[in-house]
Amino acid sequence: MSTAVDAAVAAQYEALPYPHRDPRDERKRLIIGSPSHLQEIEEKVFGGRWPDRPVRILIAGGGSGDAVTMLAQQLAWAGRAAAITYLDPSHAARAVAEARIAARGLDAPGPVTVRFETGSLLDLPSAGHAPFDYIDCCGVLHHLDDPDTGLSALTRVLAPQGGIGLMLYGHYGRRGVYDVQAILRTLAAVGSPKERVAQAKRVLNQLPPTNWLRRNGVIRDHLDGGDAGLFDLLLHARDRAYTVPDWFAFVARAGLRHADWVEPARYRLATYVTDPAVLKRAEGLSPEAEAALAEQIAGNLARHAGYLVRVDNPVAPPPPGDPDAIPAYKDIDPQRLLAAMDRGGRLTVGQEGLDIALALPTIAPALLPRIDGQKPWRVLLAEVKALRKDLTDDTLARAGEQTARLLGGIGRLTQRYPAP
């Protein structure tokens, strides 16, 4: 282990907690993200059925508190009991996260409790924690000297039927980042964090339009993330990026398996390729091989976010359009979906510089407003059939499956099963 590099990483997050957050802003907004959105965890980790007991949750490397604040608030709104442990080595970041939880009143006694700890996730196996039902580890492992040891530590404190929400940097979408990191190791390597950021800004202002970072419109943290964002992106003492094959190999070495991506559509060839002759050449590819090819074609996956379970855990998300599954929108107004559709029923969504066109079924105008997070597909499609008696049951079932697959693929729809 590189003690000097570890010390530099620790000093960075004490000086510039990441991401930069003001606890006073909790009065006016809740930052939503993935992984670790409550609906996603229920669907992808627990197979659409939230456990009928209090759950134990670990936020491993919680930073300034985005994940712990979002998940604690969502659990409280849903009335679900949970004990959350926040863990991070930075005292400064922990202070911000604690203030955000307090600003929302989530530090008061209730069914959701949040306990804050300062320390390394590498020490978890010896810390005496009971197994966790869910572990969030977002943007952490790729900064470790040995990421495999980090993921192994998390796996050792994961409950048998639990899951991990993981985010790692993506190789192709970060084009230009490592070029500029190398430049700044020469031109902005000396001084306090504040002085290094100031020097880095001077260097960035001199980069020509041909520089790969300037040409990469996906990467914005140095532009939108303040000094903490710039330092974390371009002056970090240690980070690495992963391709899709790297992701699957990394997961397998820890005795885990990939349950699902946060946005599965980004890892499907059909999202980017419409020529049947090209798609035919890819027939028979495994999901892993297809995802790797899709990543190379898209070129804009700056991060990979997905859910992992133990290799012997057979859980799976509900099949798209399962008649017994209950669909629910995730942070989007269905009327906005309808308004965004063209006359041909196509919906165009932006994905980090790329517009993706989705061909929703013709019944979408009748179906989408009926999705309320309470009715299963069986009931929803029956309501549409009452209006359109010319539609067969098979046609309706295919429409439900297509809707669930398309909207779920872009992270706008999840599915769950009713409580027993």
* Interval 67-80: pLDDT, tens: 999 999 999 999 99
On whether residue 71 sits in a domain, the answer given is: yes
Residue 140 near residue 121 (C-beta atoms within 8 A): yes
% the chain with pLDDT above 90: 92
224 token code pair: 């939108």
Same domain, 165 and 181: no
Same domain, 159 and 280: yes
Which H or E element spans position 366? helix 364-367
pTM of the model: 0.97
Peptide bond into 19 cis (omega under 30): yes
Q: How far apart are CA 34 and CA 50, in angstroms?
A: 18
Q: What pLDDT score does 343 carry?
A: 76
Q: What does the angle CA 231 – CA 233 – CA 234 come to, to the nearest 5 degrees?
A: 70
Q: Which of 9-18, 284-293, 343-352, 409-418 has the lowest mean pLDDT?
A: 343-352
Residue 220 near residue 273 (C-beta atoms within 8 A): no
On whether residue 397 sits in a domain, the answer given is: yes
Q: What does the angle CA 417 – CA 418 – CA 420 come to, to the nearest 5 degrees?
A: 115
Amino acid 387 reads L
Q: Is residue 420 helix, strand or coil?
A: coil
Q: What is the pLDDT of residues 314-338, one digit of tens each?
A: 999 999 999 999 999 999 988 888 8
The residues, any chain, with a CB within 8 Å of residue 162's CB and separated by 6 or more, are 45, 131, 132, 133, 134, 135, 309, 310
Confidence of residue 340 (pLDDT cuts 50, 70, 90): confident
Which H or E element spans position 180? helix 177-187
359 token code pair: 């061909």
Q: What does the angle CA 248 – CA 251 – CA 254 come to, to the nearest 5 degrees?
A: 150
Residue 145 near residue 181 (C-beta atoms within 8 A): no
Per the prediction, the chain carries an average pLDDT of 96
Backbone angles phi and psi of 28, in degrees to 5: -120, -5
Same domain, 138 and 26: yes
Residue 87 near residue 122 (C-beta atoms within 8 A): no
Which H or E element spans position 95? helix 91-103
Confidence of residue 391 (pLDDT cuts 50, 70, 90): very high
Same domain, 153 and 301: yes
Same domain, 40 and 122: yes
Q: What does the angle CA 367 – CA 370 – CA 371 come to, to the nearest 5 degrees?
A: 95
Same domain, 185 and 255: no
Same domain, 36 and 16: yes
Q: How far apart are CA 259 and CA 126, in angstroms?
A: 27
Backbone angles phi and psi of 268, in degrees to 5: -115, 135
Angle subtended by helix axes 193-206 and 3-15, to nearest 10: 90
Q: How many domains is the chain partitioned into structurally?
A: 3
Residue 81, class by beta-carbon neighbours within 10 Å (0-12 exposed, 13-18 middle, 19+ buried)? middle
On whether residue 318 sits in a domain, the answer given is: no
3 token code pair: 């003690």
Residue 214, class by beta-carbon neighbours within 10 Å (0-12 exposed, 13-18 middle, 19+ buried)? middle
Q: Is residue 327 helix, strand or coil?
A: strand
Same domain, 260 and 153: yes
Which of 310, 342, 360 terminates a domain? The answer is 310
Which of 257, 275, 310 terminates a domain? The answer is 310
Same domain, 222 and 343: no
**Helix, strand, coil % in the chain, rounded to nearest 5:** 45, 20, 35
Same domain, 48 and 131: yes
On whether residue 113 sits in a domain, the answer given is: yes
Q: Of 419 and 392, which is predicted with more confidence?
A: 392
Q: How far apart are CA 37 and CA 25, in angstroms?
A: 20
On whether residue 237 sits in a domain, the answer given is: no
On whether residue 29 sits in a domain, the answer given is: yes
Q: How far apart are CA 29 and CA 256, in angstroms?
A: 35
Which of 265, 281, 310 terminates a domain? The answer is 310
Confidence of residue 1 (pLDDT cuts 50, 70, 90): very low
Same domain, 215 and 190: yes
Same domain, 258 and 369: no
The CA-to-CA distance between both ends of the chain, in Å, stands at: 49
Outline where DSSP puts E strands in 277-322.
303-310
Q: How far apart are CA 29 and CA 79, in angstroms?
A: 20
Q: What does the angle CA 244 – CA 249 – CA 255 come to, to the nearest 5 degrees?
A: 130
Residue 161 near residue 313 (C-beta atoms within 8 A): yes
Q: How far apart are CA 289 and CA 224, in angstroms?
A: 34
On whether residue 182 sits in a domain, the answer given is: yes
Domain holding 53, by residue range, is 4-169+242-310
Q: What is the pLDDT of residues 106-145, one digit of tens each?
A: 999 999 999 999 999 999 999 999 999 999 999 999 999 9
On whether residue 316 sits in a domain, the answer given is: no
Mean pLDDT of the region 280-284: 94
Confidence of residue 2 (pLDDT cuts 50, 70, 90): low
The CATH number linked to 120 is 3.40.50.150
Confidence of residue 166 (pLDDT cuts 50, 70, 90): very high
